[in-house]
Chains A and B, each alone.
Chain A
């Protein structure tokens, strides 16, 4: 592998890992905020317990989202300084806005939500989770404005070999960004809804003590997942109108379209190979769409099944199916990202800067070192965190630390001697 391939692999793995956690963060935050609203309005104890249980899963997951996100943010300057120098004045603006307008507040208020449980007024506490949720979406929005610019550059002027921002409105109204934002926002709710339904189904199948708790949760999960699946697919469909000609040609697989797209690019940019990898684009696209079909049929059927109470209580094959499907929305989303990003190649900024020219002047050895280190650390952390998520989900609401009035001492405190 060349140095640039290693740098790409490093970014792809970081971004992929980040997105696994971020998607669930967005989806679960929304669900938790809605449930906490109900709990606050009605003072329903079961909904308060639901807030704590699903909130606990949300936080375990959130921590991984932060640490992968940090590495991703810094990686732009670390290994892609060619990109930041060339396009930083444009796509860096939305990154800056993301950190200041969204993430700063999200993170500060999340800390207050976690540690201020039982300390703050309950309406203030409710307001916090809503701010955290809305700023999470704002974060996703501004990141996708940056990503959308790389896919479909707008609102800029090329001067002295560097881009400058000339039209902020065009940058924000970029269809390649907006359509993706709605597509991904919907996808996050699919992830969250299926997780909630799947975990609940596990407890219903196992006939654990919390039948009422998980019957309610299962219904919420499915009721969100079905419309979210349709919403996501709608914007995915609209998204095809915003695809680059080369990506579209590779997706179609038609030799004529590919030759046309290639010829157009050669005419505009000089000789070179301008088509993305056919296999990556087609395989990831097909995986995304077939898994969507699966999720759509299962959530549709589940929506009908959940209306019948004895079925919700006792139809075990359906329970096991829902539990087994928990990972599927994650795979679908990652496939979607591969489709989007591999299809942009060989460009870092479509039509303006090639990926090979976007790299920092760093050596093969440096990237190999960082890639090895990040992969090792993240592999361990991802395994540990998924194991903890599964364990916490399996144990059920009885042992949730979040919002506990008196955190248990881990060991009996020895008598103090002076």
Chain B
């Protein structure tokens, strides 16, 4: 059960946050003017807080249920995890700060932070996953990492196509062709789930000794957590009609 809980949060993160990371990566392509970029960001704005929290929960589950793995996985990939965290911080602050002041330069700078941070996140994830899945590290790991990053970007595009309208939606749907936006999203999401499951099989998932206490607590909480997220999804189920708070 411990392993299923870890998988639930880790894969939930990949699918949900993968989409907003992807939108950040393709932001310059989606939004050609400051106004368009703000609208593209409105596609993910209500979700990104609730998406990244899946990774926070994954780390919490690691700390409580797999403490030995937490230590070896993070410290064993020290520089990669540091790069991941830095990208995450820079991206988040780009999202929060871009709308705080008017001015093209200020917003352009923080849009740059969103794009760079999103790419950094995707590539760090790619390198981490290629280390776990294929045992490749160093410069060579950049190849599979680029592949994973491309998957994040495609996933982001399909999510943006589901959320945006007009010219932005058309741009986002460039890879979908006749397949339809929903099916493309399902496809990229499935690919991310598959990567997550495979990575799980490669990790030494030996639970610690606190499962008897934590597993019931977490299982009781999961329906509540999903319901709280579903409330967000339901509230923002319609396509974006204009700029948001960010």
In the complex the two chains form, is A85's CB within 8 Å of B64's CB? no
Of chain A, the residue at the smallest CB distance from B225 is A104
Known A60-B100, A88-B67: A93·B210 in contact at CB below 8 Å: yes
Which listed residue (A63, A100, A402) contacts B245, Cβ 8 A?
A402
Min CB distance, B117 to chain A, in Å?
Answer: 11
Contact bitstring B146-170, A, C-beta under 8 A = 1, else 0: 0000000000000000000001000
Question: A residues within 8 A CB of B62?
Answer: 77
**In chain B, residues 216-246, which have Cβ atoms closer than 8 Å to a Cβ of chain A?**
217-218, 221, 224-225, 228-229, 231-232, 235-236, 242-245
B34 on the interface (CB 8 Å rule)? yes
Which listed residue (B78, B235, B244) contacts A112, Cβ 8 A?
B235
Min CB distance, B192 to chain A, in Å?
Answer: 20
Known A81-B72, A109-B228: A92·B210 in contact at CB below 8 Å: yes
Of chain B, the residue at the smallest CB distance from A77 is B74
In the complex the two chains form, is A377's CB within 8 Å of B244's CB? no
Min CB distance, A363 to chain B, in Å?
Answer: 9
A297 on the interface (CB 8 Å rule)? no
B-contacting 9-mer, from A321-329, A339-347, A405-413:
A405-413
A-contacting 9-mer, from B84-92, B125-133, B173-181, B182-190:
B84-92
A252 on the interface (CB 8 Å rule)? no
CA distance A97 to B213 in the complex (A): 10
In the complex the two chains form, is A70's CB within 8 Å of B85's CB? yes
In the complex the two chains form, is A377's CB within 8 Å of B67's CB? no
Question: A residues within 8 A CB of B67?
Answer: 84-85, 87-89, 92
In the complex the two chains form, is A414's CB within 8 Å of B33's CB? yes
A-B contact count (CB 8 A): 231
A110 on the interface (CB 8 Å rule)? yes
Which listed residue (A78, A84, A411) contacts B34, Cβ 8 A?
A411
B56 on the interface (CB 8 Å rule)? yes
Known A93-B213, A377-B86, A409-B243: A85·B229 in contact at CB below 8 Å: no
In the complex the two chains form, is A410's CB within 8 Å of B34's CB? yes
Question: B residues within 8 A CB of A85?
Answer: 67-68, 71
CA distance A95 to B57 in the complex (A): 10
Which listed residue (B47, B71, B79, B221) contacts A77, Cβ 8 A?
B71
16 contacts between A and B (CB under 8 A): A70-B89, A74-B74, A74-B81, A81-B74, A81-B75, A92-B210, A93-B210, A97-B60, A99-B57, A99-B61, A112-B46, A112-B50, A168-B213, A369-B79, A381-B89, A411-B33
In the complex the two chains form, is A165's CB within 8 Å of B75's CB? no
In the complex the two chains form, is A63's CB within 8 Å of B82's CB? no
Question: B residues within 8 A CB of A66?
Answer: 49, 92
Known A107-B50, A112-B232, A120-B235: A381·B244 in contact at CB below 8 Å: no
- Closest 6 interchain pairs by CB? A88-B67, A96-B64, A81-B71, A99-B60, A77-B74, A360-B75
Min CB distance, B65 to chain A, in Å?
Answer: 7
Of chain B, the residue at the smallest CB distance from A373 is B86
Contact bitstring A111-154, B, C-beta under 8 A = 1, else 0: 11011110110000000000000000000000000000000000
B142 on the interface (CB 8 Å rule)? no
Min CB distance, B69 to chain A, in Å?
Answer: 9
CA distance A67 to B165 in the complex (A): 31
Question: B residues within 8 A CB of A384?
Answer: 97
Min CB distance, B46 to chain A, in Å?
Answer: 4
A388 on the interface (CB 8 Å rule)? yes
Known A112-B235, A114-B245: A67·B92 in contact at CB below 8 Å: yes
Question: A residues within 8 A CB of B74?
Answer: 74, 77-78, 81, 360
**In chain A, residues 394-417, which have Cβ atoms closer than 8 Å to a Cβ of chain B?**
401-402, 404, 406-411, 413-414, 416
Of chain A, the residue at the smallest CB distance from B84 is A74
Chain A facing B: main interface SS: helix
In the complex the two chains form, is B81's CB within 8 Å of A78's CB? yes
Min CB distance, A61 to chain B, in Å?
Answer: 11
Contact bitstring A68-104, B, C-beta under 8 A = 1, else 0: 0011011011111110110111101111111111011
**In chain B, residues 12-50, which have Cβ atoms closer than 8 Å to a Cβ of chain A?**
33-35, 38, 45-50
In the complex the two chains form, is A88's CB within 8 Å of B79's CB? no
In the complex the two chains form, is A92's CB within 8 Å of B63's CB? yes
Question: B residues within 8 A CB of A410?
Answer: 34-35, 38, 99, 102-104, 107
Which listed residue (A97, A116, A164) contacts B64, Cβ 8 A?
A97
In the complex the two chains form, is B243's CB within 8 Å of A100's CB? no
In the complex the two chains form, is B79's CB within 8 Å of A366's CB? yes
Contact bitstring A40-83, B, C-beta under 8 A = 1, else 0: 00000000000000000000100100110011011011111110
Question: B residues within 8 A CB of A97?
Answer: 60, 64, 214, 217
Residue in A96, A97, A117, A381 with the greatest tally of chain B CB atoms within 10 Å: A96
Question: B residues within 8 A CB of A361?
Answer: 75
Which listed residue (A88, A374, A414) contacts B68, Cβ 8 A?
A88
In the complex the two chains form, is B93's CB within 8 Å of A407's CB? no
In the complex the two chains form, is A111's CB within 8 Å of B46's CB? yes
CA distance A328 to B181 in the complex (A): 54
Please name 9 further chain A to chain B contacts, defined as beta carbons within 8 Å, in addition to the given A78-B81, A92-B67, A401-B100, sorted by A numbering.
A85-B67, A93-B64, A104-B57, A104-B225, A105-B224, A107-B49, A111-B46, A369-B79, A407-B242
Question: A residues within 8 A CB of B68?
Answer: 84-85, 88
B134 on the interface (CB 8 Å rule)? no
In the complex the two chains form, is A407's CB within 8 Å of B244's CB? yes
Known A168-B213, A377-B89, A409-B243: A92·B64 in contact at CB below 8 Å: yes
Min CB distance, B74 to chain A, in Å?
Answer: 3
Question: B residues within 8 A CB of A67?
Answer: 88-89, 92-93
A370 on the interface (CB 8 Å rule)? yes
In the complex the two chains form, is A108's CB within 8 Å of B50's CB? yes
Question: A residues within 8 A CB of B64?
Answer: 88, 92-97
Min CB distance, A174 to chain B, in Å?
Answer: 16
Question: B residues within 8 A CB of A111?
Answer: 46-50, 232
In the complex the two chains form, is B209's CB within 8 Å of A164's CB? yes
Question: A residues within 8 A CB of B93?
Answer: 63, 67, 381
